[in-house]
Amino acid sequence: MFDHPDKIQACLNEIVPRLQDLSASFTIHYWGIDPAHFDNPVHQHSFFEICYVREGEGMYMDGDDLFPLRKETLFLSRPGIRHQIRSEKGMFLLYIAFEVDEENTDPAIVRHFRQLAAADRIVIYDAYANPTALIWTALLKHLQGPIPLTEHYVKSAALSLLFSFCSAFQAEAPSSGLGTSGYRPAAYALNRAIRFVKDNLSHSMTLAEVAAYLHLSSRHLSRLFRQELGMSYIGFVQQEKIRRAVDLLKHTDLSLIEIAEKSGFSSIHYFTRSFSRKMGMPPGKYREAMHEKKASE
């Protein structure tokens, strides 16, 4: 199956305790490779746990439901749901536990993982050809290979694995009359709007200006933000301004005035007031706290 599973597990937990790119941030609570997983108590988590049965048989309890487990089964433990894994003879089990850092993750991605937390499809049988299973298997096989892998490769593969969970457990969508491509005009328009806002954040684009760029009415674009992201256009822009400021405070030596300008705030006073209300401290104090935290690590 996999040579030296303990070493592979230790390697993953050491290299990938967090995952982050420009659009998403995750905390990985643990990676697991258990060649003989038997029973565990009924319990629940505040985070996601995804498991993959490579060999063996058992049962999975999710709330009041029971699901048989067998070779090549993927199953999802959702946050806040009491669950239990049972096996009389033991299963070869792979698992990962994680949560989304919503403050540093694109709202569209946050929405996908919130949908995952409410997914109806939590067990996938005969998953040997499922993209999630293929990515997971490839990641572990590369880690035991003779050629040393870079940390960047491992993290990239791990990030792909996390993103694959949303599509793997997503229930079949109703037909939209557009064939099987899954193309959704609303999602496409919203993604273009989000990208345009982020690219022009320092210019404080109004809803009307963004709508005109996309050849949409302001009312329609406003409705897209509320329906798809659960927030107003102004709320989204404000969130992105704070997120940009946080990133610049953490990773640059720019002055507070420069950060305010690059984040789209009209004045240093407005920046300080908005940042303090959202983050609980003024930007200068936040930068000091981040530097002290980094120095102590």
Buried b (16+ CB within 10 A) or exposed e, 220-233: ebbebbeebbeeeb
pTM of the model: 0.60
Quote the Cα angle for 146-151-157, to 5°: 85
Q: Which residue has the higher pLDDT, 218 or 141?
A: 218
Does residue 175 carry a pLDDT above 70?
A: no
Closest C-alpha to 124, from 85, 71, 182, 181: 71
Does residue 179 carry a pLDDT above 50?
A: no
Question: Token digits for 119?
Answer: 């997914």
pLDDT tens for 184-216 read 567 778 888 888 888 888 888 899 999 988 888
pLDDT at position 180: 41
pLDDT at position 125: 93
pLDDT more than 90, % of the chain = 53
Least confident interval from 7-21, 29-43, 249-263, 282-296: 282-296
Does residue 40 carry a pLDDT above 70?
A: yes
For the chain, which residues make up each domain, given as ranges?
5-168, 185-290
Could you tell me the pLDDT band of residue 6, with boundaries at 50, 70 and 90?
A: confident
Quote the Cα angle for 288-204-235, to 5°: 75
CATH number of the structural domain 5-168: 2.60.120.10
Pick from 109-113, 132-136, 173-177 the range whose average pLDDT is largest: 132-136
pLDDT tens for 211-258 read 988 888 999 999 988 887 888 999 999 989 998 999 999 889 999 999
pLDDT at position 173: 35
Domain 185-290 CATH (choose: 3.40.50.300, 2.60.40.730, 1.10.10.60, 1.20.140.10) = 1.10.10.60
Does residue 17 carry a pLDDT above 70?
A: yes
Could you tell me the pLDDT band of residue 183, with boundaries at 50, 70 and 90?
A: very low
Least confident interval from 177-186, 233-242, 260-269: 177-186
Measured distance CA(160)–CA(32) in Å, rounded: 17
Count other C-beta atoms under 10 Å from residue 237's C-beta: 21
Distances (CA, A) of 272 to 250, 278, 282: 16, 10, 6
